[in-house]
Structure 1
Amino acid sequence: MENLTIRNSSRHEISAVRSSRLIHTLVPRGHKGNTYELSEVYFIGILDFALDSAASDQYYYDVVLYDREHKVQFYNKLGYKLLSLPNFRKEESEIKTFMDMWLYVFKHMSQLREIPKFLDKRVFGLIFDIGEVSNLKVEDMKAYEWSLKDKRDAESIRLTAVRQGLQEGLHKGRLEERTKAKAEKLKSALNLKKRGLPIKDIAEDLGLTVEEIEKLK
């Protein structure tokens, strides 16, 4: 499982401190020792500047902790994924992968008024829906929020009715089972009574009262 920290970052915000804090939250509470397994943690930085002027075409950096002395990866459960938006210059006709689509959206979000045809609406539709909502006028935003509240209230009422219906159904089912079991006991008691067994013994064996058995005919 990957835990993602997404930041729209400046140079000073790309910090191992943020990552270490996230790792700290993964440690189970009350756990002692160092035998627990931690999930991978990736810090994703969406940058509005170029990291290296010499690498003007590089827009994706996959960074790991590296032990310089031994020349090996130091820790394989912490990584930094950095996206340098100014270096991403692909046009619509060049967009092929999902990563290209995300980078294009991140870079051009403020200028886009509708979903470009090359984007998968099933994946990116929600982003544009959120953008449309955030641009609503105050009165329209209030109407939208009220409509969401009405929808949530209606769903809550429906779920409550379903739960109550299930509870009533279970209660009715239990009553029917008890009634059926009682009828079976009375039937057995009547048969035993006709065979001449003592009423007191029948009552004790079947969990009935003497009065109930005496009334049987």
Structure 2
Amino acid sequence: MQQLFQEFFKDRAVYYTSRLINKQLARGKKGSDYYLPEVYFIGILEFDMDRNGSTGISRVTERPYFYDVALCDKLTKEIFYDKLGYKMISLPLFNKQPEELKTVMDQWLYLLKHLSTMDRLPSFLDKRIFGLIFEIGEIGKLTEEELMSYEASLKHKRDAESVFNSAKKSGEALGHAKGLAEGKAKGLAEGKAKGLAEGERKKALETAKAFKEMGLPIADIAKGTGLSVEEVEKL
């Protein structure tokens, strides 16, 4: 957004995009091929960019309000590089009346140009599309006292939402902690049971090995220790 005329605005636009392009090159080996993403400068201007700075008179007659600038070949008019563009709108040059607004873009430009003088959203503008920006514009026109009242109301609303969200998160945290505790208790119980089972098995194997060294029948050892015949044979 640019409200006031600036003599070297075009230079400024090129300067900004040049700096941005320079930052887009990937670091290290990834940037060795010089691949660059698209960069576009979008400007909404409240002045005629082509006017003479000293006289205020436009140097170009019938200048369209929309600038769509790209690098192109002067001879063939073909686009030379399609990943850099300047798209700017000069609001003073947009003079369409309500009955001439044929597209959504026309409606946007009409609203941007006349928003500061509107008391309400015109019926020919779709409230579903333009309602929010009109509300923002209305806030921008509030007096200092009205703005303080609005901000206080907004603070109360946000505080209420914060309390609600905090309570909700506390409930979720409590449920999460309860679930963790139950899971930990279950895990400990299962681990303990598994430990006992492994301990009993180890004791049975040691007993079976001792009996086998004593020369007792394998079938009797298996029956006495609860092990299988195959397990005793492997000892």
Shared fold per TM-score greater than 0.5:
yes
- Distance in 2 between residues matched to 1:99 and 1:144, nearest whole Å: 31
Does residue 45 of structure 2 align to residue 39 of structure 1?
no
Instruction: Indicate the structure with greater helix content.
Output: 2
2, 5, 10: which is aligned to 1:14? Answer: 10
Structure 1 pair 137/54, CA: closer, same or farther in 2 (3 Å)?
closer
Letter of the 1:39 counterpart: E
Whole-angstrom CA distance in 2 between matches of 1:9 and 1:87: 15
For residues 4-50 of structure 1, what are the alpha-carbon distances to aligned partners after superposition, in whole Å with 9 as ceiling and x for unaligned?
Answer: xx434635223311222333444457775344441332332424227
Q: d(CA) in 2 for partners of 1:23 and 1:80?
A: 13
State TM-score, norm by structure 1: 0.71
How well do the aligned residues superpose, as a CA RMSD in angstroms? 3.3
| Residue matched to 2:160 | 154
Note closer, same or farther for the CA distance 1:61–1:182 as it changes in structure 2 (3 Å cut): closer
Count of residue pairs the alignment pairs up? 193
Give the Cα–Cα distance (whole angstroms) in 1 for the partners of residues 92 and 186 of structure 2: 77
- Residue 142 of structure 2: which of 110, 132, 136 is its match? 136
Q: Secondary structure at the match of 2:117?
A: coil
1:119 aligned residue:
125
Residue matched to 1:209: none
Partner of 2:175: 169
Task: Indicate conservation of the 8 Å contact 1:85/1:107, yes or no.
Answer: yes
- How far residue 121 of structure 1 moved from its aligned partner, in angstroms, is 1.3
Identical positions, percent: 39
Q: Secondary structure at the match of 1:128?
A: helix
State the match for 1:49 in structure 2. Answer: 48
Q: Are the equivalent residues in 2 in contact too, given 1:19–1:43 (CA < 8 A)?
A: no
Cα shift at 1:151: 2.3
The structure with the larger Rg is 2
Shift of 1:109: 2.2
More strand by share: 1
**More deviation in 105-114 or 34-43?**
34-43
Give TM-score scaled by structure 2 length.
Answer: 0.66
SS in 2 for 1:113: coil
Q: State the distance in 2 between where 1:115 and 1:95 align.
A: 15
Distance 1:180 1:111 in 2: 69
Any stretches of 5+ residues in structure 2 without a counterpart?
51-57, 205-235
